[in-house]
């Protein structure tokens, strides 16, 4: 089973790669297959190094709060 959490886009380079932040962890992901245009500050769901779906800020915050709750209570 794979779980994706939203990452906030911090930067985008000339090769369509983005640096994202997921609850304090930074990762580099490809924007080549994301389902719509994205920019700095947008949130995307990522899987296997690719951004696959743009999500709104409210949903992103809800999912990141859930991730924090899991980590804080060591439920994994």
Scanning the structure block, which residue is given the tokens 């997921």?
A: 22
**Residue 35 has what pLDDT?**
86
For residue 40, what are the contacts with CB-CB under 8 A and spacing of at least 6?
9, 10, 11, 12
pLDDT of residue 10: 98
* Nearest alpha carbon to residue 20 among 51, 52, 59: 51
Fold of 6-72: SH3 type barrels. (2.30.30)
pTM of structure: 0.85
Q: Where are the domains of the chain?
A: 6-72
pLDDT at 43: 96
pLDDT of residue 50: 94
pLDDT at res. 44: 96
User: Containing H/E element for 50?
Assistant: strand 50-55
Contact 20, 8 (CB under 8 A): yes
pLDDT in tens, 25-69: 999 999 999 989 999 999 999 988 999 999 999 999 998 898 888
């Amino acid at each position: 089973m794979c779980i994706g959490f939203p990452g906030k886009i911090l930067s985008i380079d000339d090769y369509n790669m983005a640096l994202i932040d997921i609850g304090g962890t930074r990762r580099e992901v490809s924007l080549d297959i994301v389902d719509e245009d994205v920019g700095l500050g947008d949130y995307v769901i990522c899987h296997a190094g690719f951004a696959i779906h743009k999500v709104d800020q409210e949903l992103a915050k809800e999912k990141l709060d859930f991730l924090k709750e899991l980590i804080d209570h060591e439920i994994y």
